[in-house]
Structures are given as C-alpha cells and as structure tokens.
Chains A and B, each alone.
Chain A
C-alpha cells in the first residue's frame, strides 16, 4: 500500500487529485494539507511514500517546505503557472502536473511513479529532488528569505536580518539578532543562492553580510578579522580578504 499526502492551499485543487486517485486501489490518501506547515507536520507524522505538492502556497512555497523535510518522499508537483518552477522541473526530470490536468495525464504520472518504485531507479529520486531544490532556491522569491526549522516550528528569516553564516559539519548556522538557526545545507548552497553583493564568503567556514561589517583588523600573518556591528569577530582568509575588498570597492 502506498501512503500519499495532498498538499495544496486550494480545496478544489485537492479535490481533483482525490477524485482522480480513487481508481488506484494501491494508493491511500492519508491526509490533505492546507499549506507547507501542515504539510511538514503530516510528513513527519505519516512518513508518506508519495506527496502531491503545490508550488505556490502561503508563507513558504512547496520547494521551501521540501527543504525542511529530512527523509524525502517521492514528489509529484502540481502548479498552474510559474515559469521558474516549470523550468526547474524540466531541468531535473521530476514529474509535474500543470493545472488543470486531465485524468490521462494524471494516470501517466502515477504509473511512472509506480514503475519507479519497482525498479532500481527509486533510489535516485531523492537525489533528483535535492538538485531540483538547489535550482529552485535560486528563484528571485527565495532570495529574500531563509526558511529554517527550530524544533517543530518553522522560522522564516528575512535575508536582511542575517548577520553571518557559519559552517557546522553538515549544517550551516544562520546568525541573526535573535540568535542562530541551523539549516541542513552546505556553504556553497548559500554562496549560490544569496546575493553576492550582500554576502561574501570570507573564509572556508564563514559568509558575512557586508553591511554588518564595521571594521576589518589585521590578524596573524595573511589573515584578518572582520568586526561586525553585533561585536562578533569573523575570521577572514587571504582569498576572502581579496573578495571582500572587491565587493567593498577598496
């Protein structure tokens, strides 16, 4: 039995999926969710095999929700019109349905999913999703905020509030005025998605918001320390110093 969830903020849109899915006895819809927060909770609770996920939803979009999921289920995206998302799907060959979609098209997506679960390619699906998320994170909408999980809660950090980022094993700590938050992404992910004029990778393990810097002091040979408004001292490597000087125009 395949466990499935439907996550979409429009009740009528969920209804279409539910109606179409009835004919597949081997798939059971455990819950319908109104937004990404509900979706996230339901995913942790049910550990579904398959989710139907709308892209544009309140507060956090479908991509941002998936970023917070630890164990990626198979995903069939549904969206009406979002040029950026569609480009992301096309580049990463994840199945998606464009609303309004026909029953035939829906059946095809399900059959593709069922075929995948039986073959060896099933293991590669989460990897594809991972790549898709990285691509999607470059969309303009996601440039302005970072979505993190604190315990069971979801926190949305406006990028303007970020002071600096610190690599922490497989995670990155995002430092703001109110404290720091862990995000299970790599430094290079943030290097790709954050605006290069606002954030500079000054060190292998540090990225800093340029506007937060008040002073740059020399420190040991070849390296420097950036002093932030908050008082934090951030190590700056030799190459980091060159990059920083470039962005600051000195």
Chain B
C-alpha cells in the first residue's frame, strides 16, 4: 500500500512509471527492513524508562540509513539528471517520512511487547500465589492432623455411652490442645515447660486411645525448664515416635522423652521401640523428621543439630537447641 501510494505521488511529479515504481519499491524495502529490525530489537529488549532517548536516536539513525540507501541505490537504476535533482531535493521529506514510519513501528511494537510481558508476569504471579496458597493449606492440614482428630472424636463417641465424665474430660483436653496448636506460630520462642504442658495434653489424649499399649516417660533436669526453644519443635518428634512405635510393633510401647542442658545447648532426646526387621526402608532420618531438620536449619543455619540412632530395637532422635 505504502509502495502504491509512493508510486502515485512520484508519478504525479511527472516521472515515468518505471522510475516511480523502482523508487517506491526500493525505499519501501529499505523502510520495511528498518521496521523489522526495530521490531525484533524491541521483542527481546524492552527499553527502560531512561533509554527512550536511545530509542529515539535509533529511529533517527535508521531513518537516515534508509534515506542514504535510497540516495545511493536509486541513481544506479535511474541515472537521469532530472531524477537526481529531484532526489537531492526530496531527501529531507524522505528522511522525515521514514522517521515517522519507523517511530510509529517502534511505538506499536513497544506497546505490544510490553503488554505481552505484562500478561506473562501476571500469569507467573498468579502461579506463585497459587503455590504459596497450596503450601499454606498443606501446612494447615498437617497442623490439624486429621487422622488424630477424627480418631479422638471417635473415642469420645465411644466414651459418651458408658463413661460420660471421661468423654467430657477428653473433649476439654482436645480443645485445649487444638487451641494451643492454633495459637502458636512457628516463629515463636517458648520455654521447655510451656512446650511440655502442651505436649502433655497430646499424650493424655493418645493414652485414652492407646492406653492398653502406650506408656510415656518424661524426665527433664530441673535447670532446663526455663530453656528456650522454637514453639512446636518437640511435638512432631514425639508424634513421630508414637506413630512409629505404635504402628511398627504390636507389643507395648514405651516412648521416653528426656531433656538436659549441655553447655549452651538444650538437648532433647526422644526414644521409641521399632522393628529393625521391617523398618529398613525408613533408615536415615526416619519419616516425618525431615521437617524438623529443615526448620532447625532455617532457624539456626546448621545441619548438625539433629541426629538419629538405632540400636537394640530402640530408635532415638536427639535435637540440640542453641541458647542465646
């Protein structure tokens, strides 16, 4: 279209068709090349706010190159004197039309590509948000421990029939435990005494469910009651020990928890029985413990604060909490 228009204008300046067409075609091709160049540039590189001047200079340079191209190529094809004169006179007009066309192209592609970019960004952002939401949901669900919760409710359901007082007591224990879990966020630092109180509620409930098999021993040195630890750090270790103990053996299970001070560290040890014959796949960190290790790493930037041992059918987990 551009070429047709230019041909028509040139023809109206009394040039013959051949000259008009060649001139129009050559300058259009040059212009198209310049536009393509700037469009491609902008596709891979979006100018920042400060570099609009750069873009302007680019447009000017490209317009000048197009003009110079026409100036050098066309006289070879049409060596007439009249045409050469006309060429020299029309250079300024050619330059400005080229500049306008290229500038226009630059603007369009800039808007187009920045919009694409924006769409891409939005997609990425919503994806990231979705992931964060999923992670949060997963955390919440873990915190609620549906298996524990529904089994406890089932126990209460059983107790209501023939031991209503115990049912009532268990409801209160369960409520206190859930409230405690909801109140604590994992950034909080609490004393060992507080953590043990919370833990005790959990143990009481588990004993209602598994009283016939489960025994717990908690022994802590006097001086570590006031020691500080991140909230809900001991809890998952004990949950793990109970689950591991109860579901990996069929005999009575003793889960023992011991706390002591060792220099500047609070050392917590949790032990449970297990069956070495069948638990080999779980060797290493054991199941459910990797979360604790990850948290210790995030809080203290150390990987050596948790260790596990297994001997004589006893699985031992030890964590050390640095005291500040």
Contact = CB atoms under 8 A, between A and B. Distances in A.
Interface of A: 9-13, 15-16, 19, 34-35, 37, 56-59, 80-82, 98-100, 144-145, 156, 158-161
Interface in B227-285: 246-250, 275, 277-278, 280-281
**Which 10 A-B residue pairs are closest in the complex by CB-CB distance?**
A80-B150, A99-B154, A12-B158, A81-B146, A100-B154, A100-B157, A12-B155, A80-B151, A144-B281, A156-B278
A15 B150 CA distance: 16
Given A144-B281, A158-B281, A35 B154 contact: no
B134 to A, nearest CB: 15
A80 B154 contact: yes
A160 B281 CA distance: 7
10 contacts: A9-B210, A12-B158, A13-B151, A16-B158, A19-B158, A19-B161, A80-B151, A80-B154, A82-B147, A100-B157
Given A80-B154, A99-B151, A99-B153, A10 B209 contact: yes
Given A58-B248, A80-B147, A82-B147, A100 B159 contact: no
B183 interface: no
Contacts of A19: 158, 161
A199 to B, nearest CB: 15
B212 interface: yes
B159 to A, nearest CB: 7
B208 interface: yes
Q: Which of B146, B159, B211, B250 has the most CB of A within 10 A?
A: B250
B158 A81 contact: no
A139 B246 CA distance: 20
Interface of B: 146-147, 149-151, 153-159, 161-162, 208-212, 246-250, 275, 277-278, 280-281
B154 A56 contact: no
Contacts of B150: 80-81, 98-100
A58 B249 contact: yes
A231 B146 CA distance: 48
B159 A12 contact: yes
A158 B147 contact: no
Nearest to A156: B278
A129 B250 CA distance: 26
B250 A12 contact: no
A145 B147 CA distance: 22
A35 B208 CA distance: 18
Given A80-B150, A81-B150, A100-B150, A59 B249 contact: yes
A34 B250 contact: yes
Given A58-B246, A159-B281, A12 B154 contact: yes
Contacts of A57: 247
Contact of A16 (B149, B157, B249, B250): B157
A56 B246 CA distance: 11
Contact of B280 (A9, A11, A59, A158): A158
Given A58-B249, A160-B281, 19 more contacts: A9-B246, A10-B151, A10-B154, A10-B155, A15-B161, A16-B154, A19-B158, A35-B250, A37-B250, A58-B246, A58-B250, A59-B247, A59-B248, A59-B249, A59-B250, A59-B275, A80-B154, A100-B150, A145-B278
A150 to B, nearest CB: 14
B138 to A, nearest CB: 12
Contacts of A158: 278, 280-281
Nearest to A78: B154
